[in-house]
Amino acid sequence: MQRQIVLAFLLVGFVSSMFSEPVYTKRKNNYVREGPGSFYELLVVLPENSPLTVLERSGNWLKVQLPEKRVGWIAVNCITAKRNDKAAPASLENIWSSPKASKAGIAAAIKGFAGKHAKTKPGSVDLVLKYSEKPFQPGELELFNNELQQQASKNKGKVEVADLDLKKMEYDAGLDEQKIGVGMAARLVERGIVSDAQLNKYVNLVCATIAMYAPAYDWNFTVFVLEDSSVNGFATPGGYLFLTLGAVKQCSDESELAGIIAHEMSHVIRRHGMQEMTKRSVEIQADEAMSELQDETGDNTQDEADLEEIMEDMYQQVISKRLLSYELEADKLSSVLCANAGYDPFGIVRACEKMAIAQHTNPDIFDPAFMASDELRARSTAVRGFVSRKYEETYGIGLMQTRFNASMGFLK
């Protein structure tokens, strides 16, 4: 707790000083939006070392002004007080009108890559991008979160992500990661997604609520529900999360649904897919490959073939058996993310225990070897032990049972 107070004090002091001094973007890609939230419309993507003037703060978001007086909102974790002299200076000339920095430009780049290298149909890519548009307004998310806070678990704030002693990984899912993620997501949506507007809105509100309290709060996560009765979930780079309808139906309350969503979100935050891709690419790096693919005059036939092979390997890793170590890490992080959002952290425990039973009686149709029942039992045992050590079982608090029943009753 003392550590948290010190960190909070330092953050307040840092943010306060930004109002009087210029600040700079520190990531390769820094997203500026219309409002203080990841679900607001994207205005522009700024390169590293872009100078900004801070106008006001709302939570973990800053209202900033660029030299040409345009205004938008950027996450606190995208800025720094000191310019990185080792990096190339940012070129802000016409950046607001640059097609590479616009929403349409990013969509075009993603579609071009996915269609060419990810073995997807153009319509599937369009569907992913369409469903990435949030089906709720900012005010609806605020009301949704406020309802949860009024019934929040007493475990809220007991454990921070930093307390898990995970390897430090600053989250910065840039355009390259989005290309890979959309390409893989487009292949998954070809299996069929549930198009029910009520369900789509509900699962994405739960996801957005959890994301507000996550290290990657400024990333735009999207949840898709696959038309599949098996119990399963997937996550692709860039923030595209998939739950089967069977996994949704097995949930008994909102905290269990939140636990499953947070588990898949944790795979993205911890970059498990990208880690595997990196391990499988000995002679080619993703960023270099993407840059070469964008160079229309270059001859990169061999690199493109290598990238396609890596993409295929990564896709198979996502839909087939994932490493147990990744699953255990995602379960732990899920419980912490849910607790800090206000949900019962035992939701992921109950979800894992149900999944172990379901996988034994109803094997996954995508891959019979995916998380075999013995490994699922190991998962459920491990996560129950972890959550029991860290949290108090409060029974009935942080479940959001009434809202869950109202939102999901039509599926039962």
Tokens of 70: 């345009």
Just give the CATH number of 2-79.
2.30.30.40
Residue labelled with tokens 């010190």: 6
Q: Where are the alpha helices (DSSP H) in 320-361?
A: 324-341, 347-361
252 close to 351: Cβ distance less than 8 angstroms = no
Indicate the pairing of strand 30-33 with strand 42-46: antiparallel
Nearest to 193 by CA among 136, 118, 258, 127: 127
Q: Full-prediction pTM beyond 0.85?
A: no
127 close to 195: Cβ distance less than 8 angstroms = no
Q: pLDDT tens digits, the chain, 412 residues: what are they?
A: 444 444 444 455 555 555 557 899 998 888 899 999 988 988 888 888 889 999 999 999 999 998 778 899 999 999 999 888 776 666 655 454 554 555 666 667 667 766 666 667 767 888 888 888 889 999 999 999 999 999 999 999 999 988 888 877 666 666 677 777 888 888 888 889 998 999 999 999 999 999 999 988 998 899 999 999 888 888 888 899 999 999 999 999 999 999 999 999 999 988 876 666 655 544 344 444 444 444 433 334 445 556 666 666 666 666 666 678 889 999 999 999 999 999 999 999 999 998 887 665 555 444 444 456 678 888 889 999 999 999 999 888 999 999 999 998 667 5
For the chain, how many residues are written? Answer: 412
Q: CB under 8 Å to 302, separation ≥6 — which residues?
A: none
Tokens of 314: 């990564």
Nearest to 230 by CA among 344, 138, 360: 360
> No. of H helices and E strands in the chain?
15, 10
CA–CA gap between residue 140 and residue 205 (Å, rounded)? 8
- Residue 137's CB is within 10 A of a number of other CB atoms, namely 10
In the chain the first and final C-alpha atoms are separated, in Å, by 42
Tokens of 192: 């069929």
Domain with CATH 2.30.30.40 in the chain: 2-79
401 close to 189: Cβ distance less than 8 angstroms = no
Tokens of 86: 């080792």
CA–CA gap between residue 77 and residue 31 (Å, rounded)? 11
Nearest to 73 by CA among 106, 34, 101, 103: 34
